Amino acid sequence: MRSSFGLRSRPRAHPRPPTLPRLRTPARRRLAGLLAAVLTAAAVLTGTVVQAQAADTPISQGRPVTASSLENAAYPAGLAVDGNGGTRWSSSAADNQWIQVDLGANASINRIVLDWEAAYASAYQVQVSATGTSWVTVRVVAGATGGRQTLDLSATGRYVRVLATTRATAWGVSLWEFQVFGALGTQTVPPGAVRVAEFLADCPYSHRLPDDPIVFPGLPGASHMHSFFGNNATNGNSNLGSLETAGGTCNPVADISSYWVPTLYADNVPVEPTGTTFYYLGEGVRDDVIANTQPFPRGLRIVAGNAKSTGPDDNTISRWSCLWAGQVNPSHDFVNCPAGTMLESYLDFPQCWNGKDLDSADHKSHMAYPVGGACPATHPVPVPKLRQVLRYPVTGDPSRLRLASGPGYTMHGDFFNVWPAAEMERRVRDCINPIVKCGADGRP
């Protein structure tokens, strides 16, 4: 967004702080262009082959643009998308200033480029919208240092907005250029595809240990007994580095993430599930939020459920039911499953991320559940909803059953993301965003 209205020779309404770095001036930009032309001519004269490169034109260039404020009439929002690196938009001297561009139609957005003037944002959010009124945050940036910044995205929308939540200087924020790259038009849904935003991983039981590398990192034996699925190496000392060098039990084999739950006991004998499916879903939020769901970052840790529940109403996220037994109502505590069925555990993980932290002190605060079909402002980045479905080969009197953490309503689950980034990104792009049901291979 090169938004600076007039040339640098135009005086500002207030003096520039002496400590601010001086960025490229229009004169320097013109000089750079002239130098490039001279070098190209010299190459031709000397017989050097110069390979031409097609211009990558932003789909935002020249499009209608609005902003929350202007420093003054010399620096309007339109100068951030005019393709001229010597003009700029500049806001009033306040935080939470924004600039947004209307692409004219729904678009698949793969990156944006922000070219900040000396007055830049140290923290900001990139948001998209189908309507220009309801926004989805697709990137949160903190600790920015200004200059030219390129952000790769996988987003869909007609409107793109940069919300500068914290300014780095006493002035407002100012952009030489705000460029959006991608392709106009909606994503293509494969013929015959089932319109459910889903991909999955089947991850059989791996091993059992009294360890929890999220809640008790570096303390083997400090936890109640857990049953682990997926990554074969998970223990009390596990971290991203150790997990990503190990194998696992999952289909697809690309998923070497670690999943674990408190061990189930029947008559004080441990029982492991024979069905272990982890669904990655887009449900529970509006379609425009699904279209802009972002991949889990590598190393993200999430805990769902309440291991310290004192009653069924303390843990409304976890539920128990019976496979093929419609007459048994689901419950937050164990249920009595008739012979010929199986005891099932369902657990939904939160799907709204704060965009910054891979974990938090309580292992939950960096994540949140959606509200009203969207992610709350405190946790603006939508990620897939992880649904854990475990099927245990037990039936009958539930008084025989207990978890290592206590009664059935203490059920909880832990997730440590070790998906290869490219595999996770492909599945979110091809399955979640276009609302397509995919299998374990990540294909419809």
DSSP 122-165: EEEEEEEESSSSS-EEEEEEES---SEEEEEEEEEEEEEEEEEE
pLDDT digits (tens, 9 = 90+) for 369-425: 999 999 999 999 999 999 999 999 999 999 999 999 999 999 999 999 999 999 999
- The predicted pLDDT at position 325 comes to 62
CATH assignment of 2-184?
Answer: 2.60.120.260
SS (H, E, C) 282-345: CCCCCHHHHCCCCCCCCCCEEEEECCCCCCHHHCCCEEEEECCCCCCCCECCCCCECCCCCEEE
- The predicted pLDDT at position 189 comes to 76
pLDDT digits (tens, 9 = 90+) for 66-85: 999 999 999 999 999 999 99
The better pLDDT of the pair 38, 144 is held by 144
Q: Would the pLDDT of 251 be above 50?
A: yes
Q: What's the CA gap between 69 and 96, in Å, rounded?
A: 10
pLDDT digits (tens, 9 = 90+) for 333-348: 999 999 999 999 999 9
- The predicted pLDDT at position 14 comes to 28
Q: Is 124 exposed, middle or buried (0-12, 13-18, 19+ CB in 10 A)?
A: buried
pLDDT digits (tens, 9 = 90+) for 224-246: 999 999 999 999 999 999 999 99
33, containing H or E segment? helix 26-45
Least confident of 40-44, 303-307, 393-397: 40-44
Average confidence (pLDDT) over 166-183? 96
Q: What's the CA gap between 137 and 289, in Å, rounded?
A: 9
User: What's the pLDDT band for 212 if we cut at 50, 70, 90?
Assistant: very high
- The predicted pLDDT at position 185 comes to 77
Average confidence (pLDDT) over 359-371? 97
Residue partners of 394: CB distance under 8 A and separation at least 6 = 264, 266, 271, 337, 342, 343, 400, 401
CB 89 within 8 A of CB 67: yes
Residue partners of 272: CB distance under 8 A and separation at least 6 = 205, 208, 227, 263, 264, 392
Q: What's the CA gap between 156 and 435, in Å, rounded?
A: 12
Amino acid at the residue 171: W
Average confidence (pLDDT) over 97-121? 96
- The predicted pLDDT at position 186 comes to 58
What residue segments make up the domains of the chain, in order of their start?
2-184, 198-432
Residue 420 structure tokens: 């290869």
- The predicted pLDDT at position 306 comes to 94
Q: How many CB atoms lie within 10 A of CB 142?
A: 12
SS3 label, residue 271: strand
The better pLDDT of the pair 13, 23 is held by 23
SS3 label, residue 419: coil
Q: Would the pLDDT of 253 be above 80?
A: yes
User: What's the pLDDT band for 56 if we cut at 50, 70, 90?
Assistant: confident
- The predicted pLDDT at position 187 comes to 63
- The predicted pLDDT at position 133 comes to 87
Question: What are the helix and strand counts (H, E) for the chain?
Answer: 4, 24
- The predicted pLDDT at position 57 comes to 86
Give the C-alpha distances (Å, rounded to integers) separating 338 from 271, 312, 326, 394, 410: 17, 22, 11, 9, 23
SS3 label, residue 229: strand
- The predicted pLDDT at position 13 comes to 32
- The predicted pLDDT at position 348 comes to 97
Average confidence score pLDDT of the chain: 88
> How many alpha carbons fall within 13 Å on the CB side of residue 262?
24
